[in-house]
Amino acid sequence: MRVAMYYNNSDIRVEEMPTPQIGRGEILLKSLACGICGSDVMEWYRIHKAPLVLGHEATGEIVEVGDGVTRFKTGDRVFVSHHVPCNTCHYCLNGHHTVCDSLRSTNFDPGGFAEYVRVPEINVDRGVFVLPDNMSLEDGTFIEPLACVVRGQRVARIEPGQTVVIIGSGMSGLLHILLARSLGAGKIIATDISEYRMEMAKKFGADSVISAHDDLPSHLLKLNSNRLADRVIVTAGADSALDTAIKSVDRGGTILFFAPGGPDTHLSVPFNDFWKNCFTLLPTYGASPLDIEVAIELISSQRVPVQEMITHRLGLAETERGFELVTEAKESIKVVIEPHK
């Protein structure tokens, strides 16, 4: 089978690998659509593991099922989660599924940027989801990123009437805008350094858009009755974005740190302001099976419409171009690789 082998962000080669052989409890997925995630292009994080086949936003068709698999059959259209929790450890039992050791060590074989993927038994048990009939395979590539957004907004307690600021209007930021709007947020204010992405933020539901080069707190005070934001969601990992978030949250508010930073990113908080103003600093990572189920329903019901976010559909041989588009972060939002084209 063909795979897109990652060596670095500007060196991704179409190579041949043996089609994986499945065992008991496993399935073989024909990968038909797989989105490029912002984490895929974090070269500092990926480079020491290269060469490898990436891609974790994968949908496709089951072409083979192993002995003992009863919930799925050949021909099923499915989304497959690459990381799954054990559901029995201390962390899972306390609702922290995404810090579970199993979730952090499980994966499928190889990645979604391949023609076929072997899905291990533990993933089959709790990480395979049949797509609704009204959901396309490419829409299904939003399930994993939206599930992460669902989890983040749930733990941050996004509620009707709140003023929500979203720092960074790439794909994750736009999903946050769409979900916050569906949850009844009062004002949604988005930022970015890119004019293109600021226009996308307006298109997908932001009430106001402010350049990241401007003084966000002063704009907030004007737009929000002399108050800062109830919730600040940071989808950019730059030190400047973290600093802006600290200055933009209102007393008693919450900052949700959604995106990873670089290896040298540090968060600096004026402690007395933090203590006196009683705001909450909250990280979020990944998604649980429950978050995935919610994301599927949100997409299927069109409460979070995602189709128009797809800007590029590329064949496997164009994977390197797809990585360039996501890395450049200019005029692309969602880039989907179709491994059989």
Q: How does pLDDT run across 199-232, given as a tens digit for each residue?
A: 999 999 999 999 999 999 999 999 999 999 999 9
Supply the pLDDT for residue 190. 98
Q: How confident is the model at residue 234 (pLDDT cuts 50, 70, 90)?
A: very high
Question: Do the domains spanning 2-146+287-338 and 157-283 agree at the CATH topology level?
Answer: no
Supply the pLDDT for residue 148. 98
Ramachandran class of 262: left when φ > 0, alpha when ψ lies in -120 to 50, beta otherwise = beta
The domain spans of the chain are: 2-146+287-338, 157-283
Supply the mean pLDDT for the chain: 97
Question: What number of other Cβ atoms are within 10 A of residue 341's Cβ?
Answer: 12
Question: What number of other Cβ atoms are within 10 A of residue 58's Cβ?
Answer: 30
* Beta strand extents in 9-115 (DSSP E only): 11-16, 27-35, 52-53, 57-65, 77-80
Mean pLDDT of 72-87: 98
Mean pLDDT of 103-110: 97
Structure tokens at 251: 């007393």
Give exposure, 136-173, as e/b (b: 16+ Cβ within 10 Å): ebbbbbbbbbbbbbbbbbeebebeeebbbbbbbbbbbb
CATH dotted code for 157-283: 3.40.50.720
Looking at CATH, the fold of the domain delimited by 2-146+287-338 is given as: Quinone Oxidoreductase; Chain A, domain 1 (3.90.180)
Distance CA 251, CA 236 (A): 23
Q: What does the CA dihedral 41, 42, 43, 46 come to, rounded to 10 degrees? A: -100
Supply the pLDDT for residue 59. 98
Distance CA 200, CA 78 (A): 29
Supply the pLDDT for residue 153. 98
Residue 254 or 262, more confident? 254
Q: How does pLDDT run across 141-167, given as a tens digit for each residue?
A: 999 999 999 999 999 999 999 999 999
